[in-house]
Structure 1
Amino acid sequence: MEIKKYYVTGNTAQGFINLISSNLHGIDKTITLDASSLAHNTAILKRLIDEYKGKTKLEILKSSISHNYLEGIILREKNAAVLVKQGDRPSVTEFAKGLQIHDELENVYIQEMDFAKADEAAGDLIEKLLKDVPYKNREPHTYLRFFGTNTMDGIVNEVPHLISELERVYHIKGRAGTGKSTFMKKIANACLAHGLDIEQYHCSFDSNSIDMVLVPDLSICLFDSTDPHAFDPEDAAREEIIDLYEIAVTPGTDEMYHKEITELTSSYKNYMKKGLQVLKLKGEAIIKNEDAQNISETEIEQSVDAILKQINNN
């Protein structure tokens, strides 16, 4: 993939999370942009993207504030990164309250879960993925990222982009608490033990959970394909569903606990909506402040020229 887009920051139930450090593995040169103007810094980054697009592989770090902004670029083949300086952001308490309720929803399904069956399914997939792959005697690396997050624009994701060129895509279906994250962690750990680097995309709601594991060397990924990032396979030749509810949960669980599930789902989603409204108001204030600033084309050009010299002066 010549251009890869993802997020390294997220507005989660655990607060503002920044995962940039793992993505600077192998990067010798890091150039930091002053965060005084997001629009100014984004303009610089877009100019740099235009300069390098088609010439080298690009990783574009999208903004967890708004689609209007970018947070950086990584030029791995040039061992360089240009990053917007990140400050702390206040936690959104509504997300934390929503997660507490979501944990109650998970418990409904956990009590009806056959974990041995889920483990067996994970073992079968590991065997399928790695049986013909030579072991690499090397120290593998895990890149920690988000494929989307909560922003002033709502819940956003880059799933279609990230899976577009992969040879095999596994849509992990299920319910809250049915082991989707645990299933993917098992696959990730097996690949790491085999000497393969992985890209591990964390959940932007509960950052302790995993929403995607992508293994570049195998050109495969597994991802949580449920709300709010539910997708159906579009190409049966390379995409398939693994449904942990069907595999490992007592049949009829949805019907048996229908009232409790409906109430808990409605309650936690209500807190999510409130949290997104908080982010929207904060984002609007940021944009209002940005609109009041003058962006100097001359300063942008001077900054871009200086950065290009730093990157290309190996």
Structure 2
Amino acid sequence: MKGSITKYFGQAMTGQGWKNLYKDIVREAKEVYFLKGIFGFNVSNLLKEIGYHYVNKGHDIEFFYDPLFENTIQATFIKGIDTLFLQSSKPSIEPTQLGTRDKVISFYECLDEAILIQHGERLKQLSEEAEKWHDQCFASLQMAIQIHDEWEEATQQHMDWKALEEQREELFDQIFNGILLNKTGVLTHRLFGTLTPDGAKDFLRNITRNLEKRYFIKGLPGTGKSTMLKQLAQDALKRGFDVQKVWCGLDSKSIDMVILPELKLCIFDSTAPHEYFPEDGREGDVIFDITKHCQLSDEAEAKIEEISKKYRKAILRATNYAKLYAEAEKEIREILDQATDFSKWKKQSSFLF
């Protein structure tokens, strides 16, 4: 019987810079293979091959995707045996438990120096272009976060926080039903979405496909969705439940989802850019609507409409810069693939199977 594949992003492009969860995932693992080198796209194919190898042996696995390129893998986690295979040069993550948990496989010697020299000037030009578009992308995302903060301030003035608290307490009572587990809850972290060169993308349907209960939170920016999710996570851990916090792909301080595996339940922010609705035929899908607690005046609605237009423009600019950044990175990686000595690559890869 084959195992299953769950998809996440390992990084997100946020208004505060790159958000990287790989250090958290490394801490979950009992064994980590750090793949070191200057890589093109070949390393993604290798990580997929490793994943499918274990899936065919019956293991459930997690693939962690690169935000810049669709279907490009940065890491593979084998559940059950808790083994992580990680492209650790970008982002740079170093082993901290050599001799026990951590193993390093170096691919630096797989590059043909003569081919690199042949493309040296072009690589230099592309690297400068990539850095320029990278910086402009994140400057636009930083502006988007600042505008989003204005949006939140505009809605918070009109919130009935007491009514929200009462609704929240009813929900928590419904979810936990007084249950206290005689164990210590385990907290893990994941990312299900991010900005990409093609706009906002997420893996929500894949991640939640086997859950029996899904709560779809509907509410305006700044009305307490992330705060409520953090409170739910804290309460669940105190009760002994395992918790998975799923972080926001734009604001690195905010979370968009909480998964409680033992209850086969998740609750998530189901508003743009990851707006979802209950699916026909899924009895466990429930909308949790908090918009009723924010009664906006005509003046506030007009102000928010102007803010939302500015916000969309900032996100569009960031997306366009992300596309240019990815184009430069793509050519760099293609040149690196051309410069790879596959006989050496195959020899080094053999240590991973």
TM-score after normalising by structure 2: 0.81
Distance 1:210 1:161, change over 3 A: same
| Equivalent of 2:91 in 87, 91, 94 | 87
Distance 1:305 1:154, change over 3 A: same
Q: Aligned residue for 2:327?
A: 284
Structure 1 residue 68: Cα displacement: 4.0
Structure 1 residue 34: Cα displacement: 2.5
| Equivalent of 1:44 in 43, 46, 61 | 46
Mind listing any 5+ residue stretches in structure 1 that lack a counterpart?
A: 309-314
Amino acid at match of 1:193: K
| Equivalent of 2:154 in 66, 89, 108 | 108
Aligned pairs, how many?
304
Q: Distance in 2 between matches of 1:255 and 1:229?
A: 27
Mind listing any 5+ residue stretches in structure 2 that lack a counterpart?
A: 93-130
Structure 1 residue 94: Cα displacement: 0.6
Q: Structure 1 residues 79-88 or 273-282, which shifts more? A: 79-88
Q: Structure 1 residues 264-273 or 13-22, which shifts more? A: 13-22
Q: Any residues of structure 2 matched to 1:111-126 within 5 Å, and which?
A: 111-126=157-172
Amino acid at match of 1:97: M
Q: Aligned residue for 2:6?
A: 4
Q: Distance in 2 between matches of 1:109 and 1:102?
A: 11
Amino acid at match of 1:216: P
Q: Distance in 1 between matches of 2:276 and 2:254?
A: 19
Is contact 1:136–1:196 with CA below 8 Å preserved after alignment? no
Is contact 2:214–2:285 with CA below 8 Å preserved after alignment? yes
Q: Distance in 2 between matches of 1:127 and 1:35?
A: 50
TM-score after normalising by structure 1: 0.91
Identity of aligned residues (%): 26
| Equivalent of 1:273 in 279, 304, 316 | 316
Distance 1:265 1:215, change over 3 A: same
Q: Distance in 2 between matches of 1:203 and 1:245?
A: 20
Is contact 1:34–1:41 with CA below 8 Å preserved after alignment? no
Q: Aligned residue for 1:30?
A: 32
Is contact 2:214–2:284 with CA below 8 Å preserved after alignment? yes
Q: Aligned with 1:186: secondary structure?
A: helix
Q: Aligned residue for 2:65?
A: 62
Is contact 1:5–1:62 with CA below 8 Å preserved after alignment? yes
Whose Rg is larger?
A: 2
Structure 1 residue 127: Cα displacement: 0.9
Q: Aligned residue for 1:311?
A: none
Structure 1 residue 136: Cα displacement: 2.9
Amino acid at match of 1:71: Q
RMSD: 1.9
Q: Aligned with 2:271: secondary structure?
A: coil
Q: Aligned residue for 1:75?
A: 78
Q: Any residues of structure 2 matched to 1:133-172 within 5 Å, and which?
A: 133-138=179-184, 140-172=185-217
Structure 1 residue 303: Cα displacement: 3.5
